Chains A and B, each alone.
Chain A
């Protein structure tokens, strides 16, 4: 038993060791400039990760902007508003979204979401919100917006299930107390429930962010895979995870490989920090409560 527990630790150490030792070449060649340069030229062996970092951050941000209000809304509805009989089935359906493999999301996005975006949604956004500069350019469908939307769909079950868990541990007296003061149901939810649960909800959001940052397949299939930094969300981009998926098995030359592994290392470190933060927040809220099965 102890050996198994040690194995868990050993695997993590092994991951860190492999990533650090194999990315050394690129680290020595480029140093910190690796994260500030946007030149990605395998032929002349010049590597800069900025476009991928930008793409990862922007696509995840778009996903959060879409997913957070929806997930919190669903969680509030299932815990506070909907009749008891519907609670179970409703959360089951939302969690079913989590059971769909990434590659199937990608397939659906390629053949359903992207055409929809390019023929309907993007022309409309371009006309109404084009002045912001975020929605300009040719509506190809494929690009940052498509990646953000598909990521949003994928992280909604994570954020909403954690939010639900956190809302459930808000003491019932809290609700009754606010209602007794004459609050309407919504005021009770806002003042008595959401305000109390904010740290935990933030934890859920960050956990969703962690998932979005590392998500690979669906994003790779719709983001366009071009290492460019563009302001418009219609433009194609590239993420850290998708450059690994696309170029790793074709990388020729040690520096190229090493640069890709350094991107992997950076992705790993970022997700670890993000996840640790999220766990801490969720734990601070649900601490002392009996563990709930996640099934």
Chain B
């Protein structure tokens, strides 16, 4: 046989050019996506750091149009509302997640899982309206209503991540516990949940970071307040609300404070997210 080795035809110029061009296009998209990120963070740093001062962190807002004052009550108010939200949202979220992972391998479990996903997609402004309708109408705006609205937004995220994390716990560990005669509920609490703690906390922190900057659900629930408030039944200031109001105002000094407030807010959130990533990297389940 006369083997004129069929020479592999070289890839045509057109195909090679297309290949390189598309690589270039993909790189360009990365640059275009990172550009706003850099622009937003850069501008936030620039305006935020320049605008923050002692008064901003320690004083309450001055009357309309007057320069000076700060958002101390809004910072504390945010922490207050987020505390209420976590107190309600975390137990329900973790509970639902445990149910889904340990007892939810059935149709009802699937229904709950689907419900959680649907709830996750409900626009936050709609949650705000429902919060108003249930807790504010006839009673008045309150920190509690704001906390409940935010808790509703936390539950789906926490329950789905809790479920995912619990499912990573090897079945052999549960079986070992059963083998020792430990009842199922005790196994779930002391063995499964305990093993998955770092993952569950990750989910909680992610949900927390997500609601910390939410404004829309608070518009008609917590409402905002220019004074200190320590009662859960009274309207309460929140950082995102205050930023929104100040951004829409015509005063330069309020714009400055909106930037300062944004800076404080983003520092809180980024710290939380970074802490989560650090914990995940160190935790036993993050890598799975």
B215 at the interface (CB under 8 A from A): yes
Report the minimal beta-carbon distance from A212 to chain B, rounded to whole angstroms.
10
Instruction: Kindly identify which residue among A4, A18, A94, A214 contacts B96, using a CB–CB cutoff of 8 Å.
Output: A4
Distance between Cα atoms of A19 and B132 in the complex (Å): 11
Report the minimal beta-carbon distance from A208 to chain B, rounded to whole angstroms.
11
> Which of A1, A182, A264 has its CB near the most chain B CB atoms (within 10 A)?
A1
| Residues 171-226 of B at the A interface (beta carbon under 8 Å) | 188, 199, 202, 206, 209, 212-216, 219-220, 223
For A266-295 the 0/1 string (1 means CB < 8 A from B) is 011001101110010000000000010111
For A204-235 the 0/1 string (1 means CB < 8 A from B) is 00010011011111000100000000000000
The reply to whether B30 and A107 contact each other, CB–CB distance below 8 Å, is: no
The reply to whether B212 and A101 contact each other, CB–CB distance below 8 Å, is: yes
B145 at the interface (CB under 8 A from A): no
Interface residues on B, range: 35 or more
A5 at the interface (CB under 8 A from B): yes
The reply to whether B215 and A73 contact each other, CB–CB distance below 8 Å, is: no
Known pairs A107-B247, A107-B262; A15 contacts B37 (CB<8 A): no
- Stretch from A35-43, A119-127, A169-177, A240-248 contacting the other chain: A240-248
Known pairs A69-B29, A70-B33, A104-B213; A19 contacts B130 (CB<8 A): yes
Known pairs A18-B133, A267-B123, A293-B199; A77 contacts B212 (CB<8 A): no
Known pairs A8-B96, A11-B119, A81-B23; A248 contacts B220 (CB<8 A): yes
The reply to whether B155 and A11 contact each other, CB–CB distance below 8 Å, is: yes
- Stretch from B57-65, B79-87, B265-273 contacting the other chain: B265-273
Using CB atoms, name the residue of chain A closest to B164. A291
Report the minimal beta-carbon distance from B112 to chain A, rounded to whole angstroms.
5
For B246-266 the 0/1 string (1 means CB < 8 A from A) is 011000000100110010011
B286 at the interface (CB under 8 A from A): yes
Using CB atoms, name the residue of chain A closest to B9. A182
Known pairs A5-B104, A7-B96, A293-B286; A104 contacts B265 (CB<8 A): yes
The reply to whether B206 and A295 contact each other, CB–CB distance below 8 Å, is: yes
A187 at the interface (CB under 8 A from B): yes
Distance between Cα atoms of A14 and B161 in the complex (Å): 24
Instruction: Kindly identify which residue among B122, B128, B244, B266 contacts A106, using a CB–CB cutoff of 8 Å.
Output: B244
B276 at the interface (CB under 8 A from A): yes
A59 at the interface (CB under 8 A from B): no
Which residues in A have their C-beta under 8 angstroms from that of B262? 103-104, 107
> Which of B40, B111, B127, B129 has its CB near the most chain A CB atoms (within 10 A)?
B129
Which residues in A have their C-beta under 8 angstroms from that of B27? 77, 81
For A87-100 the 0/1 string (1 means CB < 8 A from B) is 00010111011011
Distance between Cα atoms of A203 and B8 in the complex (Å): 40
B92 at the interface (CB under 8 A from A): yes
The reply to whether A271 and B216 contact each other, CB–CB distance below 8 Å, is: no
The reply to whether B216 and A9 contact each other, CB–CB distance below 8 Å, is: no
Q: Which residues of A contact B (CB under 8 A)?
A: 1-5, 7-9, 11-12, 14-15, 18-19, 22, 69-74, 76-78, 81, 90, 92-94, 96-97, 99-108, 110-112, 153, 156, 160, 182, 184-187, 189, 207, 210-211, 213-217, 221, 241, 244-245, 248-249, 260-261, 264, 267-268, 271-272, 274-276, 279, 291, 293-295
In the complex, besides A96-B270, A211-B121, 20 extra interface pairs with C-beta distance below 8 angstroms are A4-B91, A4-B94, A5-B112, A7-B96, A22-B133, A74-B30, A93-B34, A104-B266, A108-B39, A111-B43, A156-B33, A184-B15, A214-B124, A216-B215, A241-B216, A244-B128, A260-B129, A291-B167, A293-B164, A293-B288
Q: Which 3 A-B pairs have the closest CB atoms?
A: A101-B213, A214-B123, A73-B29
